[in-house]
Amino acid sequence: MKRILLPILITMAAGCASTGPVALAPNDGRDCARNFTQEGSIVTGKVYRTSIYLEGTGKKRAFSNISKGLAMQGWNISNSDSELGMLNANQSVAMSNGGTAPLNISVDDTSSGSEVSLAFSTGMGVYSPPNAVMEEFCKIVSVANK
């Protein structure tokens, strides 16, 4: 019994270990996809991140457009500070007794535009397909410079 149980436990521990950032689509032509990373595991929770640089689009315009886009895409905006360039939003998590998954967005001025960074977290035991998160990130930032 010990011979069978030990390899199973080692395999489970290795599979549940948190991983460092892993790029999902490094060859994608879109910055939002190319810069997309994920880290963690379903056991510890995951954090998905991306960032994009918007040449010629200032912080104020990018922030306003992203705020409107988030609301229209069904995100619940819980906090918004245009001066700091911070947006906090969340979505309900199915079958979690009222739990939510947070999305944090930072918009910063650069010398010739702005930089938008996104981070989405899922809690322990919650699964979000990485490709779906990446596509949602790209959808969110696609309205930034309109």
Structure confidence by residue, pLDDT tens digits, 78-130:
999 999 999 999 988 776 666 788 999 999 999 999 999 999 999 888 888 99
Higher-confidence position of 10 and 110: 110
**Is residue 42, in this structure, part of any structural domain at all?**
yes
In a domain, 125, yes or no: yes
pTM of the prediction?
Answer: 0.81
Residue 76, pLDDT > 90, answer yes
Give how many domains the chain has, as a whole number: 1
Q: Please identify which residue in the block is written with the tokens 């809690």.
A: 123
- The answer, yes or no, to whether residue 16 has pLDDT greater than 60, is no
pLDDT, position 4: 55
Which DSSP letter does residue 30 get?
S
128: CATH: 3.30.310.80
Taking the C-alpha atoms of residue 127 and residue 146, their distance in angstroms, rounded to an integer, is 32
Residue 41 domain flag:
yes
Is the residue at 13 inside a domain? Answer: no
Whether pLDDT at 8 is above 50: no
Distance (Å, whole) CA 52 – CA 65: 15
Q: Is pLDDT at 17 greater than 70 in this prediction? A: no
pLDDT for 21-66, tens place per residue? 676 677 788 999 999 999 999 899 999 999 999 999 999 999 999 9
Give the whole-angstrom CA distance, residue 73 versus residue 35: 22
Residue 63 domain flag:
yes
3-state DSSP of 3-50: HHHHHHHHHHHHHHCCCCCEECCCCCCCHHHHCCEEEEECCCEEEEEE
Domain extent for 50: 18-142
Task: Look at residue 11 and tell me if it is in a domain.
Answer: no
- Asked, for residue 93, whether it belongs to a domain, the answer is yes
| Domain assignment of residue 2, yes or no | no
Element of type H or E holding 145: none
**Whether pLDDT at 14 is above 80:** no
